[in-house]
Structures are given as structure tokens and as C-alpha cells.
Amino acid sequence: MKMLFSLGFVFLLCAQAPIPTNADLPTKYNYRDAITKSLLFYYAQRSGRLPANDNPISYRSDSALKDRGKNGEDLTGGYYDAGDHVKFNFPMASTTTTIAWSIIDHQLGYSSAGQLNNAINMVKWATDFFIKAWNPATKTLYGQVSDGNIDHKFWGRPEDMDQNNRPAFSISPNAPGSDLAGETAAALAAASMVFSSVDKGYSSRCLTHAKQLYDFAKQHQGKYHATFPKRGNSGQHYYDSSSFEDELAWSAIWLFRATKDPFYLNEAKAFYAKFGLGYRNWAFSWDDKSPGVQVMLAKLTGEEKYKNDVKGYCDPKVKQPKTPKGLLFITGWGSLRYAANSAFICLQAADLNINAQAYRKFAQQQIHYILGDTGRSFVVGFGVNPPVKPHHRSSSCPKRPAPCGNANLVSKAPNPQILYGAMVGGPSDNRDSYVDDRENYQTNEVALDYNAGFQASLAALQSLAVKNVFN
């Protein structure tokens, strides 16, 4: 499979004019290096059996090989969510959709960075897991492996954790979850487009499962987390879903894009109108896909009402007063994630010639804030004064066979392993307050979804720079 991807990559390079290296691009920051390192972060998060010929993370090896469903289903693979070792499919699927979207629309950003092959492989590591997690015969979709309440008591390497105490949680007709099923359908539909010119058989398989999951999401409506474990005594769940309506429209519009079947476009439009998704403009995130639906409908229909809704999202973000150092601050938990996600949505809008210059400038400012405009980088292993103590178990551990435990969590020394490319949560308030502290998981944890909009924006900016459209 890897050779097949490589052949497709070579074909793409041969089919276009010579691509300049970043040394030839007058960009303030090296987007190529940032894209490369972001993909290394995803390598570091992989669970399951790691291929010997494709594991650039020296401190990672096979882990969680006993992950099983309630009836013995193989649930190995996929990605660990953040600094922990739980596999949360909802944000994992959202991450996959966003990265696949960026490959489809800004492929040049990856190919010019020499990372198209790795980006495709990153998507496939997730979609292989989603296909395992879905049983169309019983209409059962697994959405979480391991209980955070159990997992978070362990500080150490995933290779060393108790593999026999990782329960799995699922949705079914009796325990619905339109949000989880819809987002997984969107991820598989987008992936089918990524693989359409690389592996047609796999592309078709992804699309078939996407259609099945979409039907499930429509027929068995509800929020997935209702039957999943709660977070301690908080009364809340990990990754509580605020609604499932946006994922219904999101999966429908992705299926339309993948199939060109107007049935799915009409469905997306109907959900959009019924649930008022044009008015939801707080933030694009793992939880709320409404701004993504807005820009996709604008892109695929060209209709002014959808373009105006996209403006209703991006214009306030551009005009909102920024922090003293220039951040679009939306909330103090994973603040950089929301800024990067907004950057990506507005870069998509700019591609539709909607306030293109203003939106691209805004997006570039947000990504440059992350890369170093404040005098420090917020990306591990990149730029000037990057974080060295991310809240991340495996990178906080010394090389095996040295022990690893709570002493490594509270240690004031830098993480022994460099978690290249991981974007930390970032400032906790609108005054740019940030301390590089491993014990502060609000500002210093890393996560799959944190890097998604960031990497997607990097690919878009790299593509624009290569084409000499904007820099």
C-alpha cells in the first residue's frame, strides 16, 4: 500500500511544474517544516501494531494489542486522543475529516512539502480503525476504547499500560448517536475522495461504509455520549456533544461531494434549514461542524445565502479585538485550536473569493501567532523557544527500560522525548497568559483535534505561497 501511495505521489509531481522548496519561498516561517512535524505528532499518537518500516518515532512501539469490543471485535489501531491513552472516536473522526479535507483542497501544500504520502497514510491509520469499529450487520459502531477515569490514573508509556482493563463503548439502534455516526460517515466520505486516485478499492469501501453510517445517523437520532462513561463525579462525559444536527448536515454534504448524488445535497440543505445551522457561528470544532457546512454549501452550490452565512462566521472573527499579542481568543481551553480552526474555515472562504485578502491575512496572523510571532513557538520542536514540557505521557518518559511514573509528570525537567509537531493548548486567557508546565493540562496538553485545523491551515498557506497567490 505504501508503494502504491508513493507511485501516486510521483505521478502528481511529474504532472505539474517543478515545485519550489521552502528555501525558495519568501515565507516568514517554514511551513514545510511545520507540516512535516505536525504529521510526526500523529505518528506519535498511533495505537496498535506499528509497521517496522514506517515508524519514525523511536520511543514508540506496539501497544494496546488486546483492544477488543464486547463480543471480541478487533479494535486495535487508531489514535490515542491526547496526552492520555484513550481512543475517542468522535474527535478522532473530526480530525480525520479535517485533514482529509485539507488533502483534497490543498494537495499542493502537502506535495510541495514532500508530505503527501505521509498525510494520506495518516488518514488511512484512522479510517482502517473506523472500518473495524463499524459492524453494518448489527448496526453497532464503537466510539470509545478505554475509560478515561481508569486511564488517567496511569502515567506512563502506552506500551506499559494494563492492556486487560480497556473497556469499549458503542452506539446501536438501542443506544443511538447521530453525531458519532455522522462524523464517522463524513470522515469516510472525505477519505474516499483522498483514495479515489490512489486505491479505488479502498476508496469504494470507505464510501460504502460512509453511506451505511449516514443511514444509521438519520434513522437512530440522538447524542452518542448518553450511554458512555462520565468524567469522574462531574456529571459530564468526555467529549460531550452539544447537538447531533450539525453532523447530519455535515455527513450529507460530504457524501454529496464524494458521490455527486443530488439526494445528499438536498438532504444537507434540508438539515441546514431545519436546524438553523447558518446562525451557528461560535466556532468550528470537534463538536460543532456548522461553519464547515456553511462553507461547503457555499463551495458546492455557489449560492449567495450560504456565502453570506460564511461571512457571518468569518467577518466577526476578523473584526473581533485580539489579545495584546494578536490571538483570536474564543475560550481558554485549547485556545489555539479554535484560532487555527477559524483560520482554516476563513482560508476556505477566501478560496471562494469571499473577502479573500482580509481572510487570508487574518488566517496567516493566527497561524504565525502559533509559530512564533509572540516571541515563542507553541509547537513542540519547532521555532524559537517552543514548549518542552507538554502534558503527554509517552514523551515524558525516559527511554526504556528506565521506569516511568508520576515522578515524570511532576518533574521540572523537559520531556526526555521531543514530541515534534504537537501544538499545545495555548494561552488560558485574553492576556496571552501561558506557562510551559506539564501539570497544566489546560494550556499544555496536546490532542488530535488541536493539530487538525492547524495542519490544514499550514497546507493551505503553503499552497498559496507556492502558487504565489498570497504570502
- Picking from 219, 209, 228, 207, the residue whose alpha carbon sits closest to that of residue 248 is 219
For 421: left if phi > 0, alpha if psi spans -120 to 50, otherwise beta; the answer is left
Among the listed residues 33, 432, 436, 449, the single catalytic one is: 436
For 309-341, give one letter per residue: b (16+ CB within 10 A) or e.
Answer: bbbebbbebbeeebbeeebbbbeeebbbbbbbb
Cell 446562525, residue located: 279
Compute the distance between CA of residue 104 and CA of residue 117 in angstroms, rounded to an integer: 13
Cβ proximity of 380 and 420 under 8 Å: yes
Phi, psi of 144 (to 5 degrees): -160, 140
For the chain, helix (H) and strand (E) counts, in that order, are 18, 4
Cβ proximity of 255 and 210 under 8 Å: yes
Is residue 436 annotated as part of the catalytic site, yes or no? Answer: yes
Compute the distance between CA of residue 330 and CA of residue 291 in angstroms, rounded to an integer: 15
- Picking from 293, 274, 128, 304, the residue whose alpha carbon sits closest to that of residue 205 is 128
Among the listed residues 85, 209, 391, 392, the single catalytic one is: 391
Among the listed residues 179, 288, 315, 445, the single catalytic one is: 445
Asked whether the bond before 321 is cis by omega within 30 degrees of 0, the reply is: no
Other Cβ atoms closer than 10 A to 299: 18
Is residue 303 annotated as part of the catalytic site, yes or no? Answer: no
Q: What stretches of 133-284 adopt beta strand conformation (E)?
A: 134-135, 140-145, 168-171
C-alpha cell at 136: 453494518
Is residue 392 annotated as part of the catalytic site, yes or no? Answer: no
Catalytic residues: 391, 436, 445
